[in-house]
Amino acid sequence: MRARTMMSVAVSACVALLACACGPDKATEDTDAKPSQPSASTHADEPSATPSEPARSEKPSAEPAGDQPAPRTKEAAIQRYEQYLHALGREDIDTVCEVAGPAAKKAQDQGIGPCTSTYATVFQMISPAQKQALKTATVDPQRIAVRTPAKIEMPVEAVRASATFSESDLGSYTLEYLKNDWYITD
């Protein structure tokens, strides 16, 4: 596990350096979307697109509405994981970091870096065909493992998509029910 973490750090650092050297427009675009100050420029349209993102989804969002908790069910965990997969395909850093927050925090504590920079690197490592496939990926409920009512294993073999994913390029994840919703914790 330690070697895998160190390899991830090394790959992340290399890709981040390449991304900074080759794609300053991407870095500028990411920072422009982060500030919460209103603007009359074209950036004013961007924040309004983000909140409506779940409305464009064909499936209902697994995010709780208001103060309502998400159901502590296998189906809700699957919806949440599919939300994560679709966000990976769209390069939706906010949704990815929301769903993967606890796992990203663990990685940051191990020195890998904050979620936003880590996943910006991950986005660069996913092929265009895989990104397209992730946008509509689903999960085979027969292939997941319910460990406890609040902990579900999502193996890479459970992902159904038009592209093939392996443990090295997508990986398997653990989702846990925390703070009234499902989150990737490992």
Q: Is residue 144 part of a domain?
A: yes
d(CA 72, CA 180): 8
Average pLDDT over residues 126-144: 96
SS3 159: strand
Q: Is residue 35 part of a domain?
A: no
Task: Categorise residue 180: left if φ over 0, alpha if ψ from -120 to 50, beta otherwise.
Answer: left
Name the domain count of the chain: 1
Instruction: Name the pLDDT band for 16 (thresholds 50, 70, 90).
Output: very low
Give the pLDDT confidence score for residue 169 in this predicted structure: 84
Task: Summarize pLDDT for 52-78 with one digit per residue, the tens.
Answer: 333 333 444 444 445 689 999 999 999
Q: Which domain holds residue 74?
A: 2-28+70-184
d(CA 103, CA 111): 13
Average pLDDT over residues 36-43: 39
Give the pLDDT confidence score for residue 68 in this predicted structure: 86
Q: Is residue 180 part of a domain?
A: yes
Give the pLDDT confidence score for residue 67 in this predicted structure: 66
Look at 55-64, 102-111, 115-124, 156-165 and tell me which has the smallest mean pLDDT.
55-64
Q: Is residue 126 part of a domain?
A: yes
Instruction: Name the pLDDT band for 23 (thresholds 50, 70, 90).
Output: very low
Residue-wise DSSP of 44-68: GHHHHHTTTHHHH-SSPPSSPPTTP
Q: Is residue 58 part of a domain?
A: no
Look at 1-15, 92-106, 117-131 and tell me which has the smallest mean pLDDT.
1-15
Q: Is residue 138 part of a domain?
A: yes
Q: Is residue 59 part of a domain?
A: no
Residue 159 has pLDDT above 60, yes or no: yes
| Tokens standing for residue 136 | 């509509």
Residue 1 has pLDDT above 50, yes or no: no
Average pLDDT over residues 161-185: 94
Quote the DSSP letter at residue 128.
Answer: H
Question: Percent of the chain at pLDDT above 90?
Answer: 60
